[in-house]
Chain A
Amino acid sequence: MSTQEQILEELTTTDYKYGFVTDIEQDNAPKGLTEDTVRFISAKKEEPEWMLEWRLKAFRDWQKMTEPTWANVHYPKVDFQDIIYYSAPKQKISLDSLDDVDPELLKTFEKLGISLDEQKRLSGVAVDIVFDSVSVKTTFQETLKQKGIIFCSMSEAIREHGELVKKYIGSVVPQKDNFYAGLNSAVFSDGSFCYIPKGVRCPMELSTYFRINSAGSGQFERTLLIADEGSYVSYLEGCTAPQRDENQLHAAVVELIALDNAEIKYSTVQNWYPGDKEGKGGIYNFVTKRGICKGNYSKISWTQVETGSAITWKYPSCILAGDNSIGEFYSVAVTNNMQQADTGTKMIHIGKNTKSRIVSKGISAGRSQNSYRGLVKVHRKAENARNFSQCDSLLMGDQCGAHTFPYLEISNNSSKVEHEATTSKIGEDLLFYFQQRGIDEETAVSMIVNGFCKEVMDNLPMEFAVEARKLLAISLEGSVG
């Protein structure tokens, strides 16, 4: 191996920073999944009857479904009876005072760089924190309430805002949508709920931080976000998990609803534990995210920076039902070592004059496999639909793979659909060119990667762009400053 290859290899094999475990007393459901498990979870959450019935229906449907196999990912079969479906810190956390919170838990969030203390938080960000199966704290609830904004854990929403939840849950991702969504519908534990009333522009970024801690457990959170007419919200989620030899399952569902003239900006910085260099351990990230632009002139924009997980199976999508509605998908997916990612989006054009834009940047290093899979569908009645897709792949070294699977289903002649794709490689000649100008490899790699991802990074809220850039640097280049 040449020195340059060696450096490239070193740069691409940095350790995961968030791999520690919090030692805290947990309240777990017995392993395995039966109707009793579903009842157990529902009871723990003190849910109304209708919610339990909804879950049970999902469970019964799920039992008849099979795991999808069409994605370009390979892994041993998951044993769904070998998972703990509910795991929560034993101690109940008071929302009013941090004094009673288990210091271990506080330490955990400190290490993750998240402060539960509103005084110490970035003033422009409200955060909901989900630890294993429960939301432990939501900040700034009072400030938001003054504007009529509801931002709370899903469990709380089911109890306190039942009518809203009942109206919208499953309306974008039905229980039977797919295998993992079905599983989630039966056993989802917590997640965030958000409602922005008519004409309100949410004054701060809303965010949820997901942390898997328990061994043997899975995380099945569910997020529901409703932007009423003329409202605007920017929402961000982040996630990490301990370093473990076993694979852990994360099967989340996110539903977004944008009514007339509403806009939702949804950003994700995904940093689940990716497994070690040999591919041992890591999170299986099987997630269904979908938004509906229900109203005219509404807009949903997904931005994701995916660096973690052993396997990613995820296609944040937009149903453009309202006339003149807009859907966007901006994605950076990084795979390194033995990671596999099959990610992309679906843009479903139904309304007239609907527009969608897809910008996907895949970076593959090590022996990883990175696939983009995207569908652009234009319905018969979608006059004047417009789509532009740009899919770029960047390869580091020659042991990794990049794949692009674009699908088009066009049923209206007035539509205009464009697709562009490129593949480039960080090879020795490219790095040598930088070096010949006095720039070392590490800086060169970071300049190339940042340039490659710029269009997507520019879409992240400011507070998180910096964090995301750092994360990219860490997952690819070691400690580039």
Chain B
Amino acid sequence: MLQIKNLHASISSDSGAKEILKGLSLEVNAGEVHAIMGPNGTGKSTLAAVLTGKEGYDITEGTVEFEGKNLMDLSPEERAQQGLFLAFQYPVEIPGVSNANFLKAAVNEIRKSKGMDNIPPNEFLKLMREKMELVEMSKDFISRFVNHGYSGGEKKRNEIFQMAMLDPKLAILDETDSGLDIDALRIVANGVNKLRTKENAFVVITHYQRLLDYIIPDFVHVMYDGKIVKSGDKDLALELEEKGYDWIKELSNVEI
């Protein structure tokens, strides 16, 4: 589904270009869940931003294919329409636009890209109700503005709700677990598990092993200094929890 080969990306800032991704490779197939862990500032969110097409990054080397297409040729909205979803680490607030309006527009744009008609209103409402139940969100949120005045945890839950509504092929969850209380963590993880199928895939970025108790990953990758320095199964997460990142840093130093 997703093939990233030797990806180098830099950010253009006032003080010149700064390389953040330094030769990252990753393959994600349908039906898989990948976890990406790693110290702060190693480029995890940058990877998500580059994949989803955020402005301001230069791809200097490498390739990214999504469902056989060169992802970098597509506009951000086209990538979303093709089934790429990002649950943001820091969701923005959209005053004046209700969740219902926002999601109706999103659903219809995605349908339009597939040559489908707009979703009938009653069908849409039914879908909203159903997915809200999945993440145990109160119906009040239907008419509330997107993320406006929400608590940190509510914003994260809303990201998962949107994911459920849009039913993406590949969803990247950027630290969706941080800031969640124990109950919310369970709800979010349950939501993800219920959405898991053989056809879709998840990339879960997290700092905490405990999330992986709920969402069992097929692979765990450790990212350090712009690339993946170690991959393994779910036991790698336990090992990290125990030993911290120092041995990883040494590992990467040795390789360089």
Contacts and interface: CB of A to CB of B under 8 A. Distances in A.
Nearest to A2: B55
* Closest 3 pairs between A and B when the two form their complex, measured CB to CB: A451-B96, A435-B76, A438-B80
A438 B166 contact: yes
Contacts of B81: 438
A435 B95 contact: no
Contacts of A439: 77, 105-106, 109
Nearest to B91: A433
Contacts of B76: 432, 435-436
A448 interface: yes
Interface in A411-456: 422, 424, 428-430, 432-440, 443, 447-448, 450-452, 454
Interface of B: 52-56, 75-77, 80-81, 85-86, 88, 91-92, 94-98, 101-103, 105-106, 109-110, 113, 145, 162, 166
Given A436-B77, A437-B166, A451-B145, 9 more contacts: A422-B95, A429-B92, A435-B80, A438-B110, A438-B166, A447-B102, A448-B94, A451-B95, A454-B96
A192 B207 CA distance: 69
Nearest to B101: A447
Contacts of B110: 438
B106 A438 contact: yes
Contacts of A450: 96
Contacts of B105: 437, 439, 443, 447
A422 B149 CA distance: 13
A4 B53 CA distance: 12
Contact of B77 (A422, A435, A452): A435
A3 B166 CA distance: 26
A433 B113 contact: no
A2 B52 CA distance: 16
Contacts of A422: 95
Given A432-B76, A435-B76, A436-B86, A3 B106 contact: no
Interface in A352-408: none
B95 A452 contact: yes
A369 B102 CA distance: 30
Nearest to B105: A439
Contacts of A443: 105, 109
Contacts of A430: 92, 94
A450 B145 CA distance: 13
Nearest to B87: A436
19 contacts: A2-B56, A422-B95, A433-B88, A433-B92, A433-B94, A434-B77, A435-B53, A436-B52, A437-B102, A437-B103, A438-B81, A439-B77, A439-B105, A439-B109, A440-B75, A440-B109, A447-B97, A447-B105, A452-B96
Given A438-B80, A438-B106, A439-B77, A432 B55 contact: yes
B98 to A, nearest CB: 8
A451 B55 contact: no
A3 B55 CA distance: 8
A449 to B, nearest CB: 8
A59 B80 CA distance: 65
A428 B54 CA distance: 9
Contacts of B88: 433, 436
A469 to B, nearest CB: 14
Contacts of B55: 2-4, 428, 432
A225 to B, nearest CB: 32
Contacts of B85: 436
B249 to A, nearest CB: 31
Nearest to A453: B96
Contacts of B53: 435
Nearest to A444: B105
Count chain B CB atoms within 10 A of each CB in A4, A437, A454 and give the residue with the most: A437
Nearest to B113: A438
Given A3-B55, A430-B94, A436 B102 contact: no
A315 B77 CA distance: 42
Nearest to A4: B55
Given A439-B106, A440-B109, A424 B77 contact: no
A451 B75 contact: no
Contacts of B92: 429-430, 433
A450 B98 CA distance: 11
Contacts of A424: 95
